[in-house]
């Protein structure tokens, strides 16, 4: 069974600085997708970035980028120029389409605090 | 992006009563809808997967008789918590899968409090 691990329960970053959130996963499949979701205090899940496993190029979305290391099964999120609005819970998620269920498996989350 | 709504946003009920939560995809037809449960400061735990017109598939450990899921149309799925007890108090989140992309879009969640 696939698992997703986020080893950092909480992280802090100074406003305007850069922070990296870690995520590792375990799977025997070769075709899958990885996601980072943000959950602010409102509890609405917001997609931050996604990565297709077959793509070697790391995904980027403005200030958000990932370091995808397929062999190491690592998928970290880098937030540059951190802003106060980035403070939230961040969840790493895995999805395999192989079984046809399209289920997401979420990590335990990392709470990000942004210090002014 | 695609919008998913949930109703109600929060509900308080007495122990022993049943509560229904609706999940709607507003601007697209959802091939599949998912129901998650989230405890305070915890991750999302998948409860069940529902496809329109068929029975829901429940995850291991989820009581199908307590958490009834109906997916009557491509835009509406409902979760009914039957004979609710205080331990059922939680935050329930639905998501809807877009067929052409398989990406899930999440509803804003429903906070259930059972007294």
Residue B54: pLDDT band (50, 70, 90) is confident
Residues of chain A positioned with their CB less than 8 A from the CB of B40:
none
Residue B99: per-residue pLDDT: 73
Q: How many Å separate Cα A108 from the centre of its chain?
A: 11
Q: Tell which residue, B36, B66, B65, B63, has the closest CA to residue B49.
A: B36
Residue A1: pLDDT band (50, 70, 90) is confident
> Which sign does the torsion angle of CA B1, A98, A53, A109 carry?
positive
Better pLDDT: A2 or B106: B106
What average pLDDT score do residues B45-49 get?
94
pLDDT at B110 exceeding the cut of 90: yes
Residue range A27-66, pLDDT digits in tens: 988 889 999 999 999 999 999 999 999 998 999 999 999 9
Residue A100: per-residue pLDDT: 77
> Which sign does the torsion angle of CA A101, A26, B107, B9 carry?
positive
A 51-80: CB under 8 A from B: none
Could A43 and B108 be called an inter-chain contact, meaning their C-beta atoms sit closer than 8 Å? yes
Residue A26: per-residue pLDDT: 95
Chain A closest-CA separation from residue B108 CA (Å): 5
Could A107 and B32 be called an inter-chain contact, meaning their C-beta atoms sit closer than 8 Å? no
| Burial label, A86 (beta-carbon count in 10 A; 0-12, 13-18, 19+) | buried
Residues of chain B positioned with their CB less than 8 A from the CB of A112:
none
Residues of chain B positioned with their CB less than 8 A from the CB of A111:
41
Residue B68: per-residue pLDDT: 96
**Whole-angstrom distance, CA of residue B81 vs CA of residue B112:** 10
Residue range A92-113, pLDDT digits in tens: 999 987 777 788 999 999 999 9
Residue B98: per-residue pLDDT: 82
Residue B112: per-residue pLDDT: 97
């Amino acid at each position: 069974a696939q698992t997703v691990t986020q080893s950092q329960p909480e992280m802090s970053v100074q406003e305007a600085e850069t922070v990296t959130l870690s995520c590792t996963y375990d799977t025997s499949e070769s075709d899958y997708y990885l996601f980072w979701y943000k959950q602010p205090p409102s509890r609405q899940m917001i997609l931050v970035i996604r990565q297709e496993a077959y793509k070697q190029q790391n995904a980027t979305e403005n200030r958000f980028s990932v370091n995808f290391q397929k062999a190491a099964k690592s998928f970290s999120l880098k937030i540059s120029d951190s802003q106060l609005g980035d403070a939230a819970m961040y969840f790493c998620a895995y999805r395999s389409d192989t079984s046809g269920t399209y289920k997401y498996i979420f990590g335990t989350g990392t709470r990000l605090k942004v210090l002014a | 992006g695609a919008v998913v709504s949930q109703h109600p946003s929060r509900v308080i009920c007495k122990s022993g009563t049943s509560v229904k939560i609706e999940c709607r995809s507003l601007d697209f037809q959802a091939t599949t809808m998912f129901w998650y449960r989230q405890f305070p400061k915890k991750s999302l735990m998948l409860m069940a997967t529902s496809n329109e017109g068929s029975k829901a598939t429940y995850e291991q450990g989820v009581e199908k008789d307590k958490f009834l899921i109906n997916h009557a149309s491509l835009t509406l799925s409902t979760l009914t918590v039957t004979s609710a007890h205080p331990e059922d108090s939680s935050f329930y989140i639905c998501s809807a899968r877009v067929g052409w992309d398989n990406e899930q879009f999440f509803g804003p969640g429903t906070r259930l409090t059972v007294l």
